[in-house]
């Protein structure tokens, strides 16, 4: 296992392009990461050489593609250390994975049952639960976020009770970069008999995830933030949890047998994978998982932290800058506002300097409200970013600020 930033960067074809006559500085990886050659090649290779529909095929191409598709499931299993591949469900993305749980697990809920979320959740981990509030009278409770962007764990303890059925929180915030104490959250929830779903979209990119060590009931993430393709995501579930879940969507692939008056369902994972899956995307995600596992992940994390520290040092003392999210041990996400400017202004000017950042609510309106802002700009770092890029960002931001001073 190695990690050489220069070698890594060379594996991402897109990073050599220019934007507005300047070298691209891509700092929007928390929204979607770029893809390494290994992922692109795996998808092209399958498309060009052995593409067919998966499962139940009796010809060579179908067998080859099925093997690659199920091989991708095994790669993902190893990535998160799931017990079996039957616990790795391919979904359209993390949103789809959370909707699956909300829809299927939600069937067992009754009015007055409680679901605990947090103020820092992405809308994809809020809206599906609002459906249950609207449709079943489920009560939603939100763990408050402290001023530094960490969860108020005392308040969390107080929210838990005999009616708590599920705790659904982000493992790492897409805005604040806060890495939440997942193991403690799981223990506290289990102590009152509640299940736990972790939204791992950001966390899986930056840290080694072991779902067994976390003892988590459900873990959801998307492929495209993990250097894989869009259109594919994963829901991990404990075997006994998945066995108890009714199907999500109906269609081919997910049935045991179908008659005119009765139906039986397949076992997990196929019970939850109705219809032809995103085959090429799953294979791409498998390649991304293998690629990530080939890296020294501690070195990756140290590199990303180094980039974050660098911009903090470079922008230290800038009295026009406000950072949101300063929790200890946070990941390399920098959410900020510039005095006198809207985040949208800053993102537009930075783009002219070739620097790609995101601006807006980051699909986290409750969190924006919590910090009394309508939006923020956000620079998010990935393993392919360099110290020179951190400097370029700091320089461009300092210059952008002069437009509004």
Active-site annotation holder among 153, 266, 274, 363: 363
C-alpha R_g of the chain:
22
> What is the smallest separation between the CB atom of 341 and other proteins, expressed in angstroms?
6
Nearer to other proteins, 21 or 328 (CB): 21
Burial 315-333 (b: 16+ CB within 10 A, else e): beebebbebbbebeebbbb
Is 390 buried (19+), middle (13-18) or exposed (0-12) by CB count in 10 A?
buried
Nearer to other proteins, 238 or 362 (CB): 362
Nearer to other proteins, 150 or 337 (CB): 337
> What is the smallest separation between the CB atom of 352 and other proteins, expressed in angstroms?
6
**Is 363 labeled as catalytic in the residue annotation?**
yes
Q: Strand 321-324 relative to strand 333-338: parallel, antiparallel, unpaired?
A: antiparallel
| Torsion angles phi and psi, residue 211, rounded to 5 | -65, -25
Q: Left, alpha or beta for 71 (phi > 0: left; psi -120 to 50: alpha)?
A: alpha
Nearer to other proteins, 118 or 375 (CB): 375
Q: Do residues 49 and 23 touch, judged by C-beta distance below 8 A?
A: no
List the structure tokens of 36.
Answer: 């390494």
> What is the smallest separation between the CB atom of 376 and other proteins, expressed in angstroms?
10
Residues that bind other proteins (CB under 8 A): 20, 341-345, 347-349, 352, 359-361, 374-375, 403-404
Q: Left, alpha or beta for 284 (phi > 0: left; psi -120 to 50: alpha)?
A: alpha
Nearer to other proteins, 368 or 390 (CB): 368
> What is the smallest separation between the CB atom of 342 and other proteins, expressed in angstroms?
4
CA gap 286, 237 in Å, rounded = 18
> What is the smallest separation between the CB atom of 384 and other proteins, expressed in angstroms?
24
> What is the smallest separation between the CB atom of 91 and other proteins, expressed in angstroms?
25
| Torsion angles phi and psi, residue 196, rounded to 5 | -130, 130
CA gap 401, 369 in Å, rounded = 24
> What is the smallest separation between the CB atom of 334 and other proteins, expressed in angstroms?
17
Nearer to other proteins, 212 or 374 (CB): 374
CA gap 64, 342 in Å, rounded = 52
> What is the smallest separation between the CB atom of 343 and other proteins, expressed in angstroms?
7
CA gap 293, 1 in Å, rounded = 8
Which of 246, 248, 253 minimizes the C-alpha distance to 276? Answer: 253
Nearer to other proteins, 282 or 349 (CB): 349
Nearer to other proteins, 204 or 400 (CB): 400
Q: Which residues are catalytic?
A: 363
């Amino acid at each position: 296992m190695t990690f050489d930033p220069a070698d890594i960067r060379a594996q991402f074809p897109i990073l050599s392009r220019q934007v507005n006559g300047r070298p691209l500085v891509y700092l929007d990886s928390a929204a979607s990461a770029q893809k390494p050659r290994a992922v692109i090649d795996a998808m092209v290779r399958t498309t060009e050489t052995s593409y067919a529909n998966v499962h139940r095929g009796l010809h060579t191409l179908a067998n080859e593609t099925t093997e690659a598709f199920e091989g991708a499931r095994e790669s993902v299993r190893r990535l998160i250390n799931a017990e079996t591949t039957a616990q790795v469900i391919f979904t359209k993305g993390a949103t789809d994975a959370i909707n699956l749980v909300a829809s299927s697990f939600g069937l067992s809920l009754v009015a007055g049952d409680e679901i605990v979320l947090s103020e820092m959740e992405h809308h994809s981990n809020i809206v599906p639960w609002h459906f249950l509030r609207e449709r079943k009278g489920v009560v939603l409770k939100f763990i408050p976020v402290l001023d530094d962007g960490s969860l108020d764990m005392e308040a969390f303890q107080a929210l838990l009770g005999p009616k708590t059925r599920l705790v659904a929180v982000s493992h790492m915030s897409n805005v604040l970069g806060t890495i939440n104490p997942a193991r403690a959250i799981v223990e506290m929830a289990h102590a009152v008999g509640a299940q736990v779903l972790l939204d791992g979209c950001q966390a899986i990119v930056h840290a080694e995830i072991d779902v067994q060590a976390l003892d988590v009931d459900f873990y959801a993430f998307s492929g495209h933030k993990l250097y894989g393709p869009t259109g594919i995501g994963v829901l991990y579930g404990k075997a006994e949890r998945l066995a108890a879940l009714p199907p999500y969507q109906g269609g081919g692939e997910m049935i045991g047998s179908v008659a005119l008056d009765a139906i039986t369902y397949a076992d997990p994972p196929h019970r939850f994978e109705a219809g032809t899956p995103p085959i090429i995307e799953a294979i791409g995600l498998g390649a991304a998982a293998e690629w990530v596992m080939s890296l020294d992940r501690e070195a990756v994390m140290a590199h990303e932290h180094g980039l974050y520290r660098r911009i903090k040092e470079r922008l230290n003392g800038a009295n026009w800058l406000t950072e949101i999210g300063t929790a200890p041990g946070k990941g390399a996400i920098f959410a900020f506002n510039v005095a006198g400017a809207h985040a949208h202004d800053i993102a537009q000017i930075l783009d002219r300097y070739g620097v790609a950042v995101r601006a807006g609510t980051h699909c986290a309106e409750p969190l924006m409200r919590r910090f009394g802002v309508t939006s923020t700009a956000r620079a998010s770092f990935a393993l392919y970013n360099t110290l020179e890029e951190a400097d370029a960002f700091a320089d461009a931001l300092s210059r952008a600020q002069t437009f509004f001073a």
